[in-house]
Structure 1
Amino acid sequence: MAKKKAPKKTRHPLPNQQGLRLLPQICKEAEQALAAKDFIICTQKVQQAKRIAPKHKQVLLLEGRLYTETQDYAAGIKAYQTLLTLDDKNPRVYNNLAHLLNRNQAPEAAIECYYQALALDKTYRLAYKNALHVLRKLKRTEEIGRLLGQGLAALPDDIDLLKEYAKYLRDTQGVGASLDVFRRLLELRPDDAQIWNSLGVALDRNQQTEEAARAFQKAAELQPEYGLAHRNAGNTLAALSKREQAAAHYRLAIQYEPEYRRNYSNLLYQLQHLCAWDEIAELSVRVDQITQQALQEEDWSSIESPFSNITHCDDLALNQQVAQVKARLTKKAVAQYAPFDFSHRSFNTNQRLKIGYLSCDYHAHATAHLIASLFKNHDHQAFEIIGYSYGRADHSEYRQRIVAGCDDFVDLRPLNDRQAAERIYQDEVDILVDLKGFTKGSRLEICAQRPAPVQVTWLGFPGTSGADFFDYVITDRIVTPPEYQAYFNETFAYMPHTYQVNDQEQAITEPRPTRTDLGLPEDGFIFASFNQNYKIQPHILHIWLEILKVCPHSYLWLLRSNAVAEANILTYAERQGVAERLIFADRAAKPDHLARLGCADLVLDTELVNGHTTTSDALWAGVPVLAIEGQHFASRVSASLLQAMHLPELIVPDRQTYQTRAIALAQDPQGELAQLRQRLAEQRLSAPLFNTLLFAQDLERLYRQMWHTWCEKS
């Protein structure tokens, strides 16, 4: 029987000499086609090259690059894997293969290839960059730290690695930990505007606002057309109340960053503080147009801040739409975090409730002035009170009283938003009360993660949060009548008298100053308004000046804020012929301010945004306040406070009545006005407005109702 012949082994044909001579030119033409994105020609040339030398390193590398460009990831992976059988010491091949593995939904395998590349070349910058990108996607934080340590050991002055290290420290140890890295970057590149800007961002988040402003201004100086640096400089200078400088930077941001349309509303708010009414008139129309257009286009980055919106717009529906946009962006910022689970906790309606109050204003601030004695007035047998602070510690009397009134007080400043939320969750807070809303320095990203079963917004922001992560807003029936519910995302939790807490222990300096001490005329009638300048609209100033004209020997006493605003107010008054009857007072410590307020005869409130703490201050000092009841929350606050003070006669429905009433009171100071002052003096400690213990008890009843509802649902 004849033996069967053994099958021939498949052999790759050896490249012929003529083909080898042509190979460099073919590869060159393939490279040119690839660079020109002519993938058809490139494919033809690569296939031609493979027929000549199917296992040639340059040919396989070209094939891998071609398939990377055409997004044929599986074919590209095969080409690079074949190449590695010929040369497993080439870090570039491992990096390219890792890139395709990651694109082909194999990030774990990709990481191993990046590590192989870096094992072969510890200074391979691109491999570090790519590996860090994948590790972030995999949320392997510890590995990111180790890899950055390895990279900086090999490349201690690498700009990109240092930037990544700063981000890593910010995310894992807090913003403060990254500052030294940014300073090291500036030693290497002192004229890099982007690094100065990044340092400014870190300083700002670390609540080093003055240093942040200087960093942003340096970035703008180095690169005058750097719109983002001008915007950031404007933001921090505004926070420092340097309004004129802030406005200048916002104007430049508008010029160099026209696509970021929120700069217009940022500028508008600064102009309100400067009382620059001529410029405001034109700009406010532009801001309204941008807001409406951005809402239609869903261009969320162009929509003004909710706080800015309520200062010039009392359209409840529009206020809500603007707030809802900001709430959505806030949720998006923390969407990567897993939700908190409360299923392991036991709930009952009668348990001692743990209430967390979250704010950055536990210092000499208007919020602290209002809330300082609330915490000690809580029933600590039935409620455990925890203060969560992410603001500066100024060691003021207000902070000391707040800390002393809490069962526990936690400084969240070193923690990022996730860590802060985790701390609140681990503390098993039952009801979390945010005291900031959309006001300066707020960290609503903490609340957006829902670290507590019941979440409430209160006191700081006079309007809706627009958010689904707050269940309730603590309010009253004057600032938000029941028919306003449709314009609020939160359920109304009504206080029986007023939503605003007040401190019945506020000190007033004794002996009180005389008018002569304050530079006020002894025998004149003193109208006063100590509201911030941004609340003064030209029509309300016009009414004040008309009142002065009708009432001889009357004066208008205002708060001095900035030189530009004062000059603009005086210029307006000069046109009316009464500039000499305006008197400006410097800021003063709170007890001194309350003492001097008593020298006023009648406080005239602003309209679109009322006095809030300012109105309470006047009433506590014994001075009646005349107020218009407006259309939205911010313009109805004084009406709420006056009602809780049992002084409804001082609430008027419109501007004409406001002017007529002010004149009537001033023309008969010994008549009705004297009676109002007497009633105010008699009722100051008994009326609900300054009864902090009564307020705490009413508030606790609300908390119990909220908790009962939660337990029923759960």
Structure 2
Amino acid sequence: MLAFFTMTSRSNPAALATSPDPLADAKAFFKAGRHAEAASQCRNVLKAGQSVVESLVLLGSIGTLTNTAQASIPLLQLAASLAPRDISALNALGLAYHENRQYSEACACFEQVLAIAPRQTEVMRNLAHAQFGRKDWAKALAMFAQLYAREEHALKDWIPHAGCLHHLKRNAEAIVLLQKFIELEPENADAWYLLGLCLHHTHQIRPAIEAYKKSIKFNPKKYTAYLNLAALYQKHSNPERAAAVCRTVLALNKDFLPIYVNYGLVLAALGKSREAVELMGRLLLAQPENDRCRSNVLFYSQYTDDVSPRRLYDIHREWDIRHGEPLRRFRQEHRNDPSPNRRLRIAYVSPDLKAHSCAWFLMDLLEHHDREAVEIYAYANLDRPDGVTERLKAKIDVWRDVNGLPDADLAQLIRQDQIDVLIDLAGHTARHSLIAFAHKPAPVQVTWLGYPGTTGLSTIDYRLSDAWLTPEGTPELFSETVYTLPRISHCFRPPEAPEPTSLPARTNGIITFGSFNNFAKLSDTTARLWTAALDRVPNAKLLLKSRHIGSEEAREAILGRFRRAGADLSRIVLASGNERQEDHLAQYGLIDIALDTFPYGGMTTTCESLWMGVPVISMAGDRTSGRYGASVLNAVGLGELVANGPEQFGEVAARLAGDLDRLVELRATLRQRMAKSPLCDGPAFARAMENAYRDMWARWCDSQKG
């Protein structure tokens, strides 16, 4: 990377001992790579008070090359002050700054050189690399492009050049550049890795996988390539391969800590949530400051059936104590106008404003908001916008794309926008913005929709809920004040879907229980509940559908739970899931009764099932994640399908399975019943939410008096 100006010498290294010119000797030693001897000669010259600037430059350059750039900087600063237009001194100082990762200072030096002597190729190159180090992608790209156009592009320029294009989201151009470079250096692991990134960002999944594999082939220690390869396999329904990649990394280097998160996510997808929590917990021992990993632990702890409500509260509060409370010193006084009845600025913060389950519960609220009462903002931290994003965007007054924006900057933007009520829609899920909420950028902060239970943050004032999710006397604990709506706290926008089919049991004479829930939710308790249902209905079978069902490891993990529960495995059918929504919904036509998971129940799957005419049996738990089914079923008038304990679960299943006429009637009427229920009443839901926001705001206004 370093590009010094060439230093000539009148001396032959073989005859250095007799040379009368110690500076010439120093240059010759430098050129020969004999840096200690060169440095010694430079000091001799300086002692004699001769050629001071040139000696300082050479001595400083030796320090930069021998990894003592920090000590060289004062020498080179002195040289530059003695000769402010000496381009060798300025260039050498810039290189020392660069080697010390002081990129802004390096850029200033190289810019001074080019102001004195424009079009110096090596200095242009040095400036481009320093700008790249500073993450000034646009300026670095402009400089690399000049070198490329002048055919002065060096081999070391290709990858940072393509990296600039990648960071500026010009991945198609980066791919072309990298492919040309790979023709020159076909075994460059870094080039293959960056190519994989660019292909991934342009949705070329198979070529991206092959590029990461090539990177690993040419550098088996390119651990970030393994990391991204595992993430791709997991995202595209191949958790078994993802697990194999993670295990390979751990066999090579158990101290490569980032792989623990990916491996944990893979284990959860394979139905091993407890193992996932344990694995990511090991990473936290080494990196207690890793807030994202800690959020993953919190999220997947919700899936395990041996964590008490008190324990869940404690670990959520620990997140805030470690990662939120230290930001208290950055919080600023809110200058919002404390008038209780004025038009409010309401803002939703989410990474899921796209084809995601959260969108189906947000659509009607946005559509029916009273724009005379509220102005709606959205802060969208999206990695990949889509058609649903555009539909949501059309319902938002002010849309902020904050993808890649640091949390502190997001908090400042929210503060500048003078948001009155700020709503978190993610909790501790992927790509959340809780650090921004910890800055307390809005007077009133709320969490709703995207996460079950408390966030643990002292800066989030309210948790929006309903009487079914958080009934009176619940053992669940919250750092927020629970604000209970006088109705269900969700509103479902049904997707486009085929009409419900006829009841399968009428045709085949067999009751088919089923679940399309994420395998991460299938706990040991879930297996026992579902086995009890099978035991009470001897002619029934259980259909489980998942996009991960093709994985032998996933199948064994799930069937192992049922084996331990004493189930007859011959009555369990495993079906591969199709991710196309229309096909996914059509597969509800294969089942008569859906069974809910525990302790983390289904919300979207429960609503989908009811919309397709399939009743759901759920068991009410001791926390929000275990009461989604209770909330939804009571809202549509099917509270009798909510069991209050494990013994009752089998009884409810047997009673419903034994009444085919009731099942036929529900199949024919559930969609209409649901459409007319509070669960799908968008206008009423919007009024209830706005009333809640107004009440929260009025409370804050009252707190500002006196």
Q: Using a 3 Å threshold, how does the CA distance of structure 1 residues 57 and 362 change in structure 2: closer, same or farther?
A: closer
Q: Using a 3 Å threshold, how does the CA distance of structure 1 residues 51 and 445 change in structure 2: closer, same or farther?
A: closer
- Report how many residues are paired: 668
Alignment partner, residue 11 of structure 2:
none
Q: Using a 3 Å threshold, how does the CA distance of structure 1 residues 681 and 363 change in structure 2: closer, same or farther?
A: closer
In 1: Cα distance, 2:451 partner to 2:379 partner: 18
Preserved contact between residue 476 and residue 494 of structure 1 (Cα < 8 Å): yes
1:180 to 173, 177, 187: 173
| Partner SS, residue 423 of structure 2 | strand
Preserved contact between residue 356 and residue 386 of structure 1 (Cα < 8 Å): yes
Task: Say if 2:147 is the partner of 1:157.
Answer: no
1:95-146: CA deviation from partner (whole Å, max 9, x where unpaired): 2344678999999886554234445484564775468648976x98886566
Alignment partner, residue 457 of structure 1:
447
| Partner SS, residue 618 of structure 2 | strand
Alignment partner, residue 548 of structure 1:
534
1:115 to 111, 116, 126: 111
In 2: Cα distance, 1:289 partner to 1:113 partner: 46
Deviates more, 1:619-628 or 1:93-102: 93-102
| Partner SS, residue 449 of structure 2 | coil
Deviates more, 1:670-679 or 1:646-655: 670-679
Offset of residue 287 of structure 1:
1.7
Preserved contact between residue 524 and residue 553 of structure 1 (Cα < 8 Å): yes
Deviates more, 1:121-130 or 1:618-627: 121-130
Instruction: Please identify the structure whose Cα radius of gyration is greater.
Output: 1
Alignment partner, residue 223 of structure 1:
219
- Superposition pairs of residues 431-442 of structure 1, within 5 angstroms: 431-440=421-430
2:170 counterpart letter in structure 1: A
1:514 counterpart letter in structure 2: S
Alignment partner, residue 694 of structure 2:
704
In 2: Cα distance, 1:246 partner to 1:23 partner: 61
Alignment partner, residue 633 of structure 2:
642
Task: Say if 2:232 is the partner of 1:239.
Answer: no
Unpaired stretches in structure 1, ≥5 consecutive residues: 1-17
1:578-602: CA deviation from partner (whole Å, max 9, x where unpaired): 4145374754866776676477443
Task: Say if 2:492 is the partner of 1:502.
Answer: yes
Task: Say if 2:184 is the partner of 1:191.
Answer: no
Offset of residue 702 of structure 1:
1.6
Offset of residue 699 of structure 1:
0.8
Offset of residue 502 of structure 1:
1.8
| Partner SS, residue 705 of structure 1 | helix
Q: Provide TM-score, normalisation by structure 1.
A: 0.74
In 1: Cα distance, 2:269 partner to 2:448 partner: 25
Alignment partner, residue 4 of structure 1:
none
| Partner SS, residue 373 of structure 1 | helix
Q: Using a 3 Å threshold, how does the CA distance of structure 1 residues 80 and 198 change in structure 2: closer, same or farther?
A: same
Preserved contact between residue 35 and residue 62 of structure 2 (Cα < 8 Å): no
Offset of residue 460 of structure 1:
2.0
Offset of residue 24 of structure 1:
6.7
Task: Say if 2:359 is the partner of 1:378.
Answer: no
- Superposition pairs of residues 680-691 of structure 1, within 5 angstroms: 684=674, 687-691=677-681
- Superposition pairs of residues 119-138 of structure 1, within 5 angstroms: 119-120=116-117, 122=119, 125=122, 128-129=125-126, 133=130
1:532 counterpart letter in structure 2: N
In 2: Cα distance, 1:256 partner to 1:228 partner: 13
| Partner SS, residue 464 of structure 2 | strand
Alignment partner, residue 255 of structure 2:
259
In 2: Cα distance, 1:362 partner to 1:108 partner: 37
- Superposition pairs of residues 276-675 of structure 1, within 5 angstroms: 283-284=275-276, 286-287=278-279, 290=282, 293-294=285-286, 298=289, 303=294, 305=296, 306-312=298-304, 314-315=307-308, 343=335, 346=337, 348-386=339-377, 390=382, 394-395=386-387, 402=392, 406=395, 408=397, 410=399, 412=401, 429-440=419-430, 454-466=444-456, 470-480=460-470, 488=478, 490-503=480-493, 509-510=498-499, 512-515=500-503, 522-561=508-547, 562-564=549-551, 567-568=555-556, 576-580=567-571, 582=573, 584=575, 586-587=577-578, 597=588, 600-663=591-654, 665-666=656-657, 668-669=658-659
Preserved contact between residue 261 and residue 302 of structure 1 (Cα < 8 Å): no
Q: Using a 3 Å threshold, how does the CA distance of structure 1 residues 104 and 340 change in structure 2: closer, same or farther?
A: same
Alignment partner, residue 684 of structure 2:
694
Preserved contact between residue 227 and residue 254 of structure 1 (Cα < 8 Å): no
In 1: Cα distance, 2:166 partner to 2:315 partner: 30
In 1: Cα distance, 2:257 partner to 2:664 partner: 51
Deviates more, 1:357-366 or 1:632-641: 357-366
Alignment partner, residue 13 of structure 2:
none
- Superposition pairs of residues 30-179 of structure 1, within 5 angstroms: 48-52=44-48, 54-55=50-51, 59-61=55-57, 64=60, 69=68, 71=71, 74=74, 77-79=77-79, 81-82=81-82, 84=83, 91-98=87-94, 112-118=108-114, 119-120=116-117, 122=119, 125=122, 128-129=125-126, 133=130, 147=143, 156-158=152-154, 160-166=156-162, 168=164, 175-179=168-172
Q: Using a 3 Å threshold, how does the CA distance of structure 1 residues 689 and 298 change in structure 2: closer, same or farther?
A: same
1:319-349: CA deviation from partner (whole Å, max 9, x where unpaired): 56776788899999xx9xx999974x65632
Preserved contact between residue 97 and residue 103 of structure 2 (Cα < 8 Å): yes
Q: Using a 3 Å threshold, how does the CA distance of structure 1 residues 226 and 339 change in structure 2: closer, same or farther?
A: same
Deviates more, 1:488-497 or 1:529-538: 488-497
Q: Percent identity?
A: 24
Offset of residue 552 of structure 1:
2.0
Offset of residue 613 of structure 1:
0.9
Offset of residue 227 of structure 1:
1.9
1:513 counterpart letter in structure 2: T
In 1: Cα distance, 2:308 partner to 2:229 partner: 31
2:401 counterpart letter in structure 1: L
Alignment partner, residue 7 of structure 2:
none
Q: Using a 3 Å threshold, how does the CA distance of structure 1 residues 542 and 377 change in structure 2: closer, same or farther?
A: same
Offset of residue 700 of structure 1:
0.8
Q: Using a 3 Å threshold, how does the CA distance of structure 1 residues 467 and 133 change in structure 2: closer, same or farther?
A: farther
Preserved contact between residue 227 and residue 252 of structure 1 (Cα < 8 Å): no
| Partner SS, residue 527 of structure 1 | strand
In 2: Cα distance, 1:400 partner to 1:285 partner: 36
1:467-498: CA deviation from partner (whole Å, max 9, x where unpaired): 56755443335545688899655543333333
Q: Using a 3 Å threshold, how does the CA distance of structure 1 residues 417 and 340 change in structure 2: closer, same or farther?
A: farther
In 1: Cα distance, 2:138 partner to 2:660 partner: 75
Preserved contact between residue 527 and residue 555 of structure 1 (Cα < 8 Å): yes
Preserved contact between residue 349 and residue 433 of structure 2 (Cα < 8 Å): no
1:509 counterpart letter in structure 2: P
Offset of residue 307 of structure 1:
3.4
2:340 counterpart letter in structure 1: T
1:183-230: CA deviation from partner (whole Å, max 9, x where unpaired): 413421343222332344455567766665454344334434422111
Preserved contact between residue 353 and residue 382 of structure 1 (Cα < 8 Å): yes
Preserved contact between residue 261 and residue 290 of structure 1 (Cα < 8 Å): no
Offset of residue 385 of structure 1:
3.8
1:460 counterpart letter in structure 2: G
In 2: Cα distance, 1:648 partner to 1:401 partner: 34
Alignment partner, residue 21 of structure 1:
20
Aligned Cα root-mean-square deviation (Å): 5.2
In 1: Cα distance, 2:323 partner to 2:148 partner: 34
